[in-house]
């Protein structure tokens, strides 16, 4: 969540930044709800003080007038507390819907305003008709989407043969790579609670996108960013332990409500997928440097795999809800004839740490401050598998995978 004190002292500046991210969000409504909430808090606190004062006076002897006044104050206090609870709930609900504020260098606009900042490699050329991964996978027996639909439903995948080996090889390759870059491997559960999802900004706004285990009030994680960030929820971290770098490989689950076009068949957009994630927790003044570090770590994987990709700085309206600045890494898919995102690297500032009370102290006697949190895909496996299949396809329909992967395949 944003800094409410900043909104109170610089309402026009904050409103302009929020509009850059989400023009539909009514900042004036948030300001009015905050004012109403604080006014009601003052009224309740005044009545509580009056009640305490009457109780103090009553110790010397209760008069009929004192008893009558105490009853009146008590009745009014109960009524005001009910109103306060309602006003507080309205304020909190709308406060949690408020997006993070983008940084000054984030472009204005939506997808059309995203700015390509780097392109690496070139589009591969072929002397035979290019096939997409669905065609290649069917011929090789790597996938069975019909069986997956029978087992779970549409837009799930079932991997077979070398596709299974490739998935595990990629995950191991990326975890080893990330460890070499200073990110500590963590193996979290794939189930998380609602509080964890609220801390990272997935709840309440995107609750309809998450799979729920309703009986146990748990949810299947949509990204291990949630698991890793919440490891430090309600913590005060000694300054010398920062920055904290973590990486994890988990299955991820997303409803992805909406329609699926022909360009999103196969592995392009599915409800369950494997992903290796990076998460960093650091001091505020170092977060943009850490963002650059995370992007470099993720893109070096694509370089080692010899894939053509580009990096884009996202415009405000295309940034995630939680992000103050985001870079997307998009890999070229020859069978699709376009770039597709395989990594999104975001600096979330203190948006998540304010929700989760993730703080640090530079020194034992120094003031407690909120950390900055960052996350990046490193990488999402399905689209990476698509890129490898379509880039390294041969005329006979086989896939000549890079040696860095074949050496790891079972």
Q: What is the pLDDT of residues 207-239, one digit of tens each?
A: 999 999 999 999 999 999 999 999 999 999 999
DSSP letter at 106 equals: S
Q: How far apart are the first and last CA of the chain?
A: 45
Q: Which of 334, 336, 333, 342 is nearest to 378 (CA)?
A: 342
Domain count, the chain: 2
Buried b (16+ CB within 10 A) or exposed e, 194-206: bebbbbbbbbeeb
pLDDT at 272: 96
| Domain endpoint, select from 96, 119, 136 | 96
pLDDT at 320: 96
| Domain endpoint, select from 96, 124, 151 | 96
- 210 in the same domain as 310: yes
- pLDDT over threshold 80, residue 159: yes
pLDDT at 61: 81
- 131 in the same domain as 272: yes
- 92 in the same domain as 117: no
Peptide bond into 379 cis (omega under 30): yes
pLDDT at 262: 57
| 380 within domain boundaries | yes
Helix residue spans in 233-380 (DSSP H): 287-304, 351-356
| 246 within domain boundaries | yes
Which tens digit of pLDDT belongs to each residue from 77-133? 999 999 999 999 999 999 999 999 999 999 999 999 999 999 999 999 999 999 999
Residue 199 banded pLDDT, cuts 50, 70, 90 = very high
Domain, as residue range, for 65:
4-96
- CATH code for position 62: 1.10.287.40
- 323 in the same domain as 249: yes
| 268 within domain boundaries | yes
> How many other CB atoms are there within 10 angstroms of residue 23's CB atom?
10
Helix (H) or strand (E) holding 175: helix 162-180
- 214 in the same domain as 346: yes
Q: How far apart are CA 245 and CA 257, in angstroms?
A: 32
| 176 within domain boundaries | yes
**Given 3-state DSSP classes, what are the helix, strand and coil percentages for the chain, each rounded to the nearest 5?**
45, 20, 35
Which tens digit of pLDDT belongs to each residue from 2-60? 999 999 999 999 999 999 999 999 999 999 999 999 999 999 999 999 999 998 888 88
- CATH code for position 339: 3.30.930.10
Prediction pTM value = 0.94
- 116 in the same domain as 92: no
Higher per-residue pLDDT: 228 or 261: 228
Q: How far apart are CA 399 and CA 390, in angstroms?
A: 8
């Amino acid at each position: 969540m944003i800094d409410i004190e900043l909104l109170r002292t610089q309402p026009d500046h904050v409103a302009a930044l929020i509009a850059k991210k989400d023009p539909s969000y009514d900042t004036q409504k948030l300001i009015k709800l905050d004012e109403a909430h604080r006014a009601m808090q003052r009224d309740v606190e005044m009545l509580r003080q009056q009640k305490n004062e009457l109780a103090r006076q009553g110790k010397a002897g209760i008069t009929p007038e004192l008893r009558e006044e105490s009853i009146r104050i008590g009745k009014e206090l109960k009524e005001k507390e009910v109103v306060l609870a309602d006003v507080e709930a309205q304020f909190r609900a709308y406060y949690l819907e408020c997006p993070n504020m983008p940084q000054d260098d984030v472009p204005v606009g939506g997808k059309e305003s995203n700015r390509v900042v780097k392109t690496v490699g070139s589009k591969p050329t072929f002397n035979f008709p290019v096939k997409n991964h669905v065609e290649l996978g069917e011929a090789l027996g790597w996938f069975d989407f019909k069986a997956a639909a029978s087992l779970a439903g549409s837009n799930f995948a079932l991997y077979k043969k070398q596709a299974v080996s490739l998935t595990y090889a990629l995950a191991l390759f990326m975890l080893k790579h990330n460890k070499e870059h200073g990110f500590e491997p963590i193996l979290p559960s794939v189930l998380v609670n609602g509080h964890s999802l609220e801390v990272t900004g997935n709840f309440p706004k995107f609750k309809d996108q998450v799979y729920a285990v309703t009986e146990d009030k748990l949810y299947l994680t949509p990204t291990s960013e949630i698991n890793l960030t919440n490891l430090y929820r309600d913590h005060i971290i000694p300054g010398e332990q920062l920055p904290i770098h973590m990486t994890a490989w988990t299955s991820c689950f997303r409803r992805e409500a909406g329609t699926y076009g022909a360009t999103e068949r196969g592995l392009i957009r599915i409800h369950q997928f494997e992903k290796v994630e990076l998460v960093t927790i650091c001091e505020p003044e170092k977060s943009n440097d850490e963002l650059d570090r995370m992007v470099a770590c993720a893109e070096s994987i694509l370089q080692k795999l010899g894939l053509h990709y580009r990096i884009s700085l996202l415009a405000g309206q295309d940034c995630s809800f939680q992000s103050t600045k985001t870079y997307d890494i998009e890999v070229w898919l020859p069978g699709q004839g376009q770039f597709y995102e395989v990594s999104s690297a975001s600096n979330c500032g203190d948006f998540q740490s304010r929700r989760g009370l993730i703080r640090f102290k530079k020194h034992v006697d120094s003031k407690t401050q909120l950390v900055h949190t960052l996350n990046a895909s490193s990488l999402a496996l399905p689209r990476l598998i698509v890129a490898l299949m379509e880039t390294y396809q041969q005329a006979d329909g086989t896939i000549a995978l890079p040696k860095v992967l074949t050496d790891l395949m079972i």
